[in-house]
Amino acid sequence: MSSMNHVDVQSVQVPVWRKSSHSMANGECVEVAGGLPGARIGIRDSKDSSGPIITLPVEAWTHFVGGLKSAGL
């Protein structure tokens, strides 16, 4: 998908991460951060906060979340 970029965690400027509202008690969670350079959303594994980050344009994230909500997920 051309709208996705893989970004090394050191290249992101002080994001404020929050866990998904659907986080599991077993630690199987993702965290998201808004306000990244280029109007992008960051997504990472909460168990590996120094690991890789996937970024998406805000519009793509909004579409993704809307699709999950429409599907009742």
Closest by Cα among 37, 39, 46 to 17: 46
Please tell me the predicted confidence (pLDDT) of residue 49. Answer: 85
Instruction: For the chain, report the end-to-end CA distance as a whole number of angstroms.
Output: 23
Instruction: Give the tens place of pLDDT for each residue, 18-61.
Output: 987 767 677 778 899 988 888 899 999 988 889 999 999 999 99
Buried b (16+ CB within 10 A) or exposed e, 30-53: ebbbeebeeebbbbbeeeeeeeeb
CB atoms within 10 A of CB 61: 17
Please tell me the predicted confidence (pLDDT) of residue 67. Answer: 93
pTM of the model: 0.69
Q: Is the pLDDT of residue 3 over 60?
A: no
What's the domain range around 63? Answer: 5-70
- Rounded mean pLDDT, 10-23: 73
Please tell me the predicted confidence (pLDDT) of residue 57. Answer: 95
How many domains, in total, are found in the chain?
1
Closest by Cα among 69, 65, 7 to 40: 7
